[in-house]
Amino acid sequence: MNNRVVVTGIGIVSPVGLDAKSTWKSLVAGKSGIDHITAFDPDGFETTIAAEVKDYDVTTLVGRKEARRMDRFVQLAVGAALEALEESGMKIEPDNCERVSVMITSGIGGIITLSEQIGVMGERGPKRVSPFLVPMMLPDMASGQVSMLLGAKGPNYAAVSACSSSGDSIGLAYEAIRRGEVDAALAGGAEASICPIGVAGFNACHALSTQNDEPQKASRPFDATRDGFVMGEGAAVLVLESMESAERRGAAPIAELVGYGATADAHHITQPAPGGEGGARAMKIALKGAGIQPHEIDYINAHGTSTPLNDKFETLATKSVFGEEAYKIPISSTKSMTGHLLGASGALEASVCVLAIANLIVPPTINLENPDMDCDLDYTPHIPRRGRIRTAMSNSFGFGGHNSSLVFQSVE
């Protein structure tokens, strides 16, 4: 089979909004969600800033008992999944539950719970470790908990590929629907790693920005003064379904997912392959699968982490795929506002692409004040741009050499 796959719902919990509507409004306005860390006392850390989700309370959605058995990343996933499902209008019932999949991933999983329970063991002994440690820390538990909450009995798993994780989860759900294995899927990712060991670990590998004095300016993709990414947390989930399923329900698709490409650099545990070769191949595969020529792309949401090598090599990769057309395509990195949601970033940025198509607006890249000579494409600095957006691409690249690319299109 070769079913068409459409997006009928979007759910987002992010550092700039607790739902999709408020997140989109903040991104278009160029609002940063980065500030000083409040989740713990960061005194003595090289990095003391992050993009935290503020004022989120999962107990408005599930009971307190259930909430206590969920790591924070799972709690964030629940909010995004329920919003996406509500917007889609899809009901999961006994007659369709086996045809609905859940593929919500995390790049890191329940690191907050794990680190807390290691502390408990050290202070109080192994017998005081929570019996819920293991089911709370596993990266698949956002998918598992959402499946149980909704009663979705189709394929349920989490593709873990670092910062490409949720891009790959969306891509795998897309392929399952195309093949006719399921009619619909809740696909995306969630991440919550802003804790002492999480920040210390990324500091140790020199990945994080240390521009602590001006938090909202610290994430500076493609800027010559960029010095690393800013950790973010949050979740984003798309409801994907076959066009036939959407039409049968009378649902109005927001956009169509038409292409997915995934590759490996086979080069280095953290650095991208020279010239962005692996990312370029992922983009080419996605374009070929979509049957789209490079000049037909109207917007690219870049991986754009604000790290020196990633931004440079992503620029080179884009040029290698699009040639001279690369200079004509509006590109932005919304990580300049949300920080880097790690395993959830691909789903958040895929959602941004869908919203860009629906609203005909390219969100800006903020903080791009001193353009890097090696990053000379149109990165939509500071101000959003209205215009024709029929087709959009979302790119995600991860530690370990993982690359994924998704192509969305307006529905015709």
The pLDDT tens digits for 63-108 are 999 999 999 999 999 999 999 999 999 999 999 999 999 999 999 9
pTM: 0.97
- The DSSP line for 10-79 is EEEEBTTBSSHHHHHHHHHTT----EE--SS--TT-S--EEBPPPS--GGGTS-HHHHHTS-HHHHHHHH
Judge whether 195 counts as a catalytic residue: no
Active-site residue, from 97, 195, 206, 340: 340
Alpha carbon distance 43, 273 (integer Å): 35
Q: Which of 370, 359, 353, 283 is nearest to 321 (CA)?
A: 283
Q: 259-409: which CATH topology? A: Peroxisomal Thiolase; Chain A, domain 1 (3.40.47)
Alpha carbon distance 13, 32 (integer Å): 15
Judge whether 340 counts as a catalytic residue: yes
Q: Assess if CATH 3.30.300.30 describes domain 5-249.
A: no
Q: How confident is the model at residue 345 (pLDDT cuts 50, 70, 90)?
A: very high
Q: What is the mean pLDDT of residues 303-309?
A: 96
Judge whether 303 counts as a catalytic residue: yes
Active-site residue, from 163, 195, 353, 375: 163
CB neighbourhood size of 132 (10 A)? 15
Q: Is 371 helix (H, G, I), strand (E, B) or coil?
A: strand
Query: What are the Cα distances from residue 47, in Å, to 214, 256, 341?
Result: 12, 39, 16
Q: Where are the CATH 3.40.47.10 domain residues in the chain?
A: 5-249, 259-409
Q: What is the mean pLDDT of residues 273-301?
A: 96
Q: What is the DSSP letter of 277?
A: H
Express each pLDDT in 6-50 by its tens digit. 999 999 999 999 999 999 999 999 999 999 999 999 999 999 999
